[in-house]
Amino acid sequence: MNPKLTDLIVKNTHLKASDIRPEMRLAEDIGYYGLDAISFIDSFFSEFEIKNTESFDVDLYVDRTVDFAPRPLNWLKNILNKDRRKYLRPDVTLGHLDKVVEKGSWFNER
């Protein structure tokens, strides 16, 4: 994993560098939900000067259930969207962030 990414994660989380694994998820493993996750992603984009951030799908990668009230439009999107399963458990892995750093541009993993 990119050492600069490891440093960013250590600085912004409760983790030690030795604890960080590529399969870890922001929400499920680190506890970053909602605004915390969005803030971390914003600092990630800035720190690594990531391009193509407009294609970052917040609903796909950030679990906002803790910070935000249920949103009926998301329920409707989940019912009507044939790819709805990818929105059921939104999260992003540290391994995906590492690949984004290598590429220098955001791309959707799912």
- With the C-alpha atoms ordered 65, 49, 55, 8, is the resulting torsion angle positive or negative? negative
- When pLDDT is cut at 50, 70 and 90, the band that residue 80 belongs to is low
Residues 4-26 have pLDDT tens digits of 999 999 999 889 999 999 999 99
CATH of 3-103, picked from 3.40.1800, 1.20.120, 1.10.10, 1.10.1200, is 1.10.1200
Q: What is the pTM of this model?
A: 0.78
Please indicate whether residue 57 or residue 101 has the higher confidence score (pLDDT): 101
- When pLDDT is cut at 50, 70 and 90, the band that residue 101 belongs to is very high
CA 87 and chain centroid, separation: 13
What is the predicted pLDDT for the residue at 33? 85
How is the chain split into domains, by residue range? 3-103
